[in-house]
A = this chain, B = another copy of it.
Amino acid sequence: MGKGRVTLPVEEGLEKEISHIADKWGADAVRDSDGTKIPEEVKSIADKVYSKYFFTRGDQEWAKANLDELQHIYLMSEAVTAKSEEVTIPILKGYFDQQVQPDTDHDPKQWWEVINRTTGKAVSPEQWSYDTETQEVILKNANKWHCYTVNFLAYQIWDPVHMYNHITNNWDTEHHLPYDPRYPKTREYILERLRNWLDDHPDTDVVRITTFFYNFTLVFNDLAEERYVDWLGYSTTVSPLALKEFEKEKGYKLRPEDLVDEGYYNSPFRIPSRQFLDWMDFQQKFVSELAKECVDIIHSYGKEAMMFLGDHWAGTEPYGKYFKNIGLDAVVGSVGDGTTLRMISDIPHVKYTEGRFLPYFFPDTFKEGGKPVEEANQNWMQARRAILRSPIQRMGYGGYLSLALDFPEFVERVEEITDEFRKIHDYSKGTASYKAPFKVAILNSWGKTKTWMSHHVHHAIWYKQVYSYYGILESLSGMPVDVEFISFEDIKHHGIPEDIGVIINAGDAGTAWSGGAAWKDEKVVSTLREWIDAGGGFIGAGEPTAMEHQGAFFQLADVLGVQKEIGFSLSLDKYNTLHEGSHFITEEHNGPIDFGESMKYVYQSDRNTEVLAMEEGDVTLAAHQFGHGRSVYMAGLPYSPENTRLLLRAIFWAASQESLMKNWYTTNIQTECAAYPEAGMFVIINNSYEQEETSVYKEDGSKVDVTLAPMGYKWMEI
C-alpha cells in the first residue's frame, strides 16, 4: 500500500521486528526516543534517520561545572497571614526541593520582592531578611493580619521534562540540570557542542530538537506531584542577566512581580500586561537569534533541523514574529486532537510538519487491559478532519516499539491509518481543500501569536473550565472554513480584514479569551459594531464581550440581543421566549443541545432576539439581527459531531451566507466531506463508530449517496 510519510520509533534489540513493521506501516524514517538508540542495521532501511537533540541539558558535565549558569525561575511563596509584626515566610513551602533552589548568589534584596498582598505594595527590603539555613524570609514591622508573599528567584536544579519523565517512569538516574544559553560562556559551548555532536552523528539526517532552550512552566510540589503547569509559560526564561539585558533593550526595568503576576505567572488566560508582552518579545528575539545560529550550523552539515513543538519551546512561538528567522526545516508535534493538529499543520515558514500520534507506546496504555486501538481511533478521527483542511506532511509515533508489538490489533489498525494518511496526500495532490468564501476569526487578547492555542492550559488536556470553549476550536479544526486568530489590538490599529466573514469571541469574563477591559475600549466596540452592522457575523460563546461597565455586562448586548444577569438587575423582569418554528441554525439538531458547562443567567435583552434554546429558564442559544449583520450567542460548545454541525450552521447564518453552506456538505451530521477541486477528488469521512449513510451535496448542486463503514472514508472523483 505504498510507503512514506511515516516515522517509526525504534530501539535496539528489535532489529527484525522493526524491518517488518516499517514495511507494514510504510515507514520511511526512524527515530530514537528518550533512553533509546537507533540500531545501526535499521538506519539502512529508512530514508531518513531522526536523532533527538537536547540543547540545554544534553551535557551534564557542563552543567555541573557551571552551576552559576543554571537556568532560573521566578516563584511566589505561599501567602502567609501576619499574626504578629514579625512574620516568617518559608519560601519553599509547597515546592519540590529537588526541583528548585533559592538563588542567593544574586542579592535577594535586589532580585526578590516581598509583597503585601492585602495592599498590593512591595515591602521595603530593609524590612526583611532571608535566612539561607531555614530558607525563610523574616519580615519585621509587618502590618498585622495582612497577607505577605515572597517573589523569589530560584535555580532550576532539575530540568522539568527530565523530572517529569523520571518521576512518571520511576527512573533512578542523575537529575538533569538545565543550563542557560543567555550566559555567553554557555551559549558558546552550546554551539560548539552542537558542532561536535554533528561531527559524531554522520548518519543523522534530521536533528530533532526537543526543543531549544527554555521549558514551559512545569513546577512540582513537595509531594513530588505536579503543582503548576502552563504549556505556554515563560517562567523559566528569567535570569538576572536576562533582566539586565531587557532593561538595556526595552529601556525600563522589570520588577519580579511583572513575571510573578500575583502568582498567576502571566498565564495565557490573563490579559497580557505590556511588561509581559515586552518580555515575550525580548525572549522570542533572543531565542530565535540563537536558534537560527544553531539551525545554520545544522544546515552547514547538510542535515535538516526539525523542532519539537513543546518541552523547551518557550520563546519559539511558531506564530510569532521572529519564528521565520530561525529557518527551521520542519516542526513535529504531538497530536492530541484536531486543534493541536492544526496548531502544527498551520505553522508557516517551514518545509513540512509532522504529527506524532497517540497513544505513545508507553506502559500506561500498552499494558494488560489497555485499549490502544480505542485511543488510536479517537485520536485519528479527530485529527483526520483537521488534516483534510490543513494537512501535516508526515506522521509518526513515539515511545517504545517493543510495547506496541504485543498488541497485534493495534499494529493492524496503524497500518490502516498510515495507509489512509498517505491516501489523503495521494488524492489531494498537495492542493487546498474547498473552503467557504469567507474566513472565520477568533478574537481574543492574544490574536495570531496563540493561533490554535486559545483556551489551552496543557497540551490538549481536558479542563472543566475550558472544554466548553475549546470545543469551538476543535469543531473549527476540521471545518471547511479558513480560520484566523485576531487580537483587540489588531482591530484597534488595523480594523477588520476584508476577507473575514464571521468573528467569534468565546470565553469566561475577564480572561484573555473573552477580553476583559478591551470591551471598554471605544475603538474596539465601535469598529466591531460598524462592521457587523454592515453585514458582518458575530458569534459569542459563554461570556463574550464581557466587562461590567455602564450598566452592561455583555458590552455588545446590542449586537447579541442577549445580556447576562450578574445580580445588579434582578429587579428587571426577564421575558425569555423560545423562538417558535424551525431555524436555520438548529434545523438539523434533534433533542437537547450539549452546551457543556453552559452559562447561567443569560437573558433575552431584545424582543427581536430569536431564542433558540433555553436551560432552566436561561438563554443558551440565540440569534439576532443587527443592521445588515447577524449575531449568535451560545452558552458553550463542547466538541461533538452534532455541535460541529451547529457551529457550521451558526457560522453560515451569521455570515448571511446560508445558501453557500451546501457545497460539499453531507446530510448526515456524523459525516463530513472535503473536496479538492484542483485535484478533482473529494472524500467523505465517517466521524462515528457506526456505519453511516449520507448524501453529499456537490458544488454543482448534485447529490451523491454514500455508505461508510464505522470510522470509514471514501474518496471519489468530482
- Hey, which bits of chain A sit against chain B, CB under 8 A? 76, 79, 81, 83, 115, 117-120, 143-147, 149, 217, 221, 225-230, 233, 262-265, 267, 269-270, 457-458, 463-466, 507-508, 510-511, 522, 525-527, 529-530, 533, 548-552, 558, 565-573, 575, 597, 600-601, 616-618, 627
Contact = CB atoms under 8 A, between A and B. Distances in A.
Contact of A508 (B119, B525, B566): B566
Contact of A526 (B143, B227, B522): B143
Contacts of A145: 525-527, 529-530, 533
A589 B522 CA distance: 53
B551 A465 contact: no
22 contacts: A81-B529, A117-B550, A117-B551, A117-B552, A118-B525, A120-B550, A143-B526, A144-B526, A145-B526, A145-B527, A146-B525, A149-B551, A217-B571, A228-B571, A262-B550, A264-B551, A464-B617, A464-B618, A465-B567, A510-B548, A510-B567, A597-B600
Contacts of A526: 118, 143-146
A457 B571 contact: yes
Contacts of A265: 571
Given A522-B146, A526-B145, A573-B227, A566 B118 contact: no
Contact of A558 (B147, B527, B569): B147
A144 B233 CA distance: 40
Given A118-B550, A225-B575, 11 more contacts: A81-B558, A117-B552, A145-B526, A145-B527, A146-B525, A262-B550, A264-B568, A464-B601, A465-B601, A507-B567, A508-B567
A546 to B, nearest CB: 11
Q: What are the 7 closest A-B residue pairs judged by CB atoms, nearest first?
A: A262-B551, A145-B526, A263-B551, A230-B571, A117-B550, A145-B529, A511-B567
Given A118-B522, A120-B549, A570 B457 contact: yes
Copy total for this chain: 2
A199 to B, nearest CB: 41
Nearest to A223: B575
Nearest to A226: B573
B79 A558 contact: yes
Contacts of A228: 571-573
A376 to B, nearest CB: 28
A83 B458 CA distance: 43
B79 A570 contact: no
Nearest to A80: B558
B570 A463 contact: yes
A82 to B, nearest CB: 9
Contacts of A575: 225
Contacts of A567: 269, 465, 507-508, 510-511
Contact of A566 (B81, B510, B530, B549): B510
B571 A229 contact: yes
A227 B265 CA distance: 45
A465 B572 CA distance: 13
B533 A83 contact: yes
Contacts of A571: 217, 228-230, 233, 265, 267, 457-458
Contact of A269 (B144, B511, B568): B568
Contacts of A230: 571
B569 A264 contact: yes
Contact of A568 (B511, B565, B601): B511
Contact of A572 (B227, B527, B568): B227
A333 B86 CA distance: 55
A85 to B, nearest CB: 13
Contacts of A551: 76, 79, 117, 149, 262-264
A148 to B, nearest CB: 11
Nearest to A601: B465
Contacts of A616: 464
Contacts of A533: 83, 145
Given A510-B567, A567-B269, A573 B229 contact: yes
A289 to B, nearest CB: 28
Contacts of A463: 570
A507 B144 CA distance: 27
Contacts of A510: 548, 566-568
Contacts of A511: 567-568
A511 to B, nearest CB: 4
Given A145-B525, A145-B526, A263 B569 contact: yes
Contacts of A600: 464, 597
A15 to B, nearest CB: 42
Contacts of A225: 573, 575
Given A117-B550, A533-B83, A616-B464, A270 B568 contact: yes
A152 B195 CA distance: 78
Contacts of A525: 118, 145-146
A83 to B, nearest CB: 6
A551 B81 CA distance: 14
A457 B526 CA distance: 35
A671 B477 CA distance: 59
A83 B627 CA distance: 9
A687 to B, nearest CB: 27
Nearest to A121: B550
A519 to B, nearest CB: 10
A144 B147 CA distance: 47
Contacts of A465: 565, 567, 570, 601
Contacts of A568: 264, 267, 269-270, 510-511
Which of A115, A147, A567 is packed against the most chain B CB atoms within 10 Å? A567
Contact of A267 (B79, B464, B466, B569): B569
Contacts of A558: 79, 81, 147
A685 to B, nearest CB: 32
Contacts of A217: 571
A511 B627 CA distance: 35
Contacts of A569: 263-264, 267
Nearest to A76: B551
Nearest to A149: B551
Contacts of A149: 551
Contacts of A457: 570-571
Contacts of A233: 571
Contacts of A262: 550-551
Contacts of A226: 573
Contacts of A527: 145
A463 B600 CA distance: 13
Contacts of A147: 550, 552, 558
